[in-house]
């Protein structure tokens, strides 16, 4: 499992930032969930948002590099 520090280091190599935001899962059992964001934090533009750092960084790689 990737830690926040690992994610920050990996994103920083691409000139990106990481942060945690909250989303509301809507339905019969509505709840707030933490989502991991990778993108440009200074202007609050995420490139990828996921429930884990691995997923968020993998999505970011696919979007940027087509991998």
Q: Which band of pLDDT confidence, cut at 50, 70 and 90, is reported for residue 17?
A: very high
Say what the pLDDT of residue 52 is: 95
Q: Which band of pLDDT confidence, cut at 50, 70 and 90, is reported for residue 28?
A: confident
Is pLDDT above 90 for 41?
no
How many CB atoms are located within 10 Å of the residue 46 CB? 21
**Stretch 41-65: mean pLDDT, rounded?**
92
Beta strands of 1-67 (E only): which ranges? 17-25, 31-40, 45-50
Say what the pLDDT of residue 67 is: 64
Q: What are phi and psi of 16, to 5 degrees?
A: -115, 175
pTM for this prediction: 0.80
């Amino acid at each position: 499992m990737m830690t926040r520090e690992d994610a920050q280091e990996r994103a920083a190599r691409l000139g990106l930032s990481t942060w945690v935001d909250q989303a509301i899962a809507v339905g019969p059992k509505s709840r707030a969930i933490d989502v991991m964001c990778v993108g440009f934090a200074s202007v609050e533009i995420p490139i990828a948002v996921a429930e884990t750092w691995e997923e968020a960084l993998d999505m970011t790689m696919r979007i940027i590099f087509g991998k």
